Amino acid sequence: MTVSGDPLASLFKPVQPPTAFEQTVERLATAIKLGFLPPGGQLPPERELARQLEISRTTLRQALTALTQSGLVTTSRGRRGGTFVADPLPLPPRPRRVFAEDELRAFLDHRLAIETGVAIRAAERAAPDDLDALLELCDDMDEADEFESYRQADLRFHMGLAEAAHSPRLLEAMAEVQSELDEVIELVPHPQEVLQRSNDQHRALIALLRKGDADGAAKAIREHVEGTEYFLAGMLPKP
């Protein structure tokens, strides 16, 4: 797996001391969680990954050791050896969080700002191939027979939207938003009617992006994000 020309190129931007080790662990764990390093997939070679993160191979190996101890990756030796994402990934139970109203509002405000900016830039910059890829993900969501499959396609859709904006900083911000969103949406049920409406909004957004309609795209993504906000407000457990 290479890191150039895909979202990993932005997620794996250089880390900074004095927390290079911690940042490396976080970057790799996030890439695994978001599915850009899929279960069973091989991580890039140490030399390449260390170069991209601008860290020593010693620091990288320490981070990989931590990920191995957490069960997220495995290593093997020999000609076909390397570091691989665990398959299946460990699924330790997480405590059900209770989000305070101001905490949830702050997250949703941040999400709205990022998604709106991404939609505007995507309307201005997206290539036809970018939009074709998004449409394929809509098809995947229509065909998903369980929420986990739907969510993975939905996550890739929003990351693909950020890719279509051709802005590494926005792609990084979208990855952060989607990682935080996982913590929220796992706490609520996912009725099929809600998922279908959400995907219909995805398709409507793509149509606006094809027209280069930045204002329309901003309005559409706001409706999409705020729809999620209202749904969560009604369904999340209260403190």
> Is residue 97 predicted with pLDDT exceeding 70?
no
**Euclidean distance between CA atoms 202 and 216, whole angstroms:** 13
Report pLDDT for 179.
85
Encode pLDDT of 161-192 as tens digits.
999 999 989 998 999 899 888 878 877 777 78
Are 167 and 158 within 8 A, CB to CB?
no
Across residues 85-92, what is the average pLDDT? 80
Encode pLDDT of 200-231 as tens digits.
999 999 999 999 999 999 999 999 998 888 77
Task: Tell me how far the alpha carbon of residue 59 is from its chain's centroid.
Answer: 25
Q: Kindly report the CATH number that applies to the domain delimited by 101-235.
A: 1.20.120.530
Domain spans in the chain, listed from the N-terminal domain onward: 8-85, 101-235
Encode pLDDT of 21-53 as tens digits.
888 887 888 888 777 888 999 998 999 999 989
Q: Could you tell me the pTM of the whole model?
A: 0.71
**Euclidean distance between CA atoms 138 and 147, whole angstroms:** 14
**Euclidean distance between CA atoms 82 and 124, whole angstroms:** 41
Encode pLDDT of 56-84 as tens digits.
999 999 989 988 888 889 988 877 778 99
Q: How many helices (H) and strands (E) does the chain have?
A: 10, 2
Residue 132's CB: how many other CB atoms inside 10 A?
11
**Euclidean distance between CA atoms 27 and 8, whole angstroms:** 9
CATH classification number, 8-85, choose in 1.10.10.10, 1.20.140.10, 1.10.1660.10, 3.40.50.300: 1.10.10.10
Encode pLDDT of 115-163 as tens digits.
999 999 999 999 999 999 999 999 999 999 888 889 989 999 999 999 9
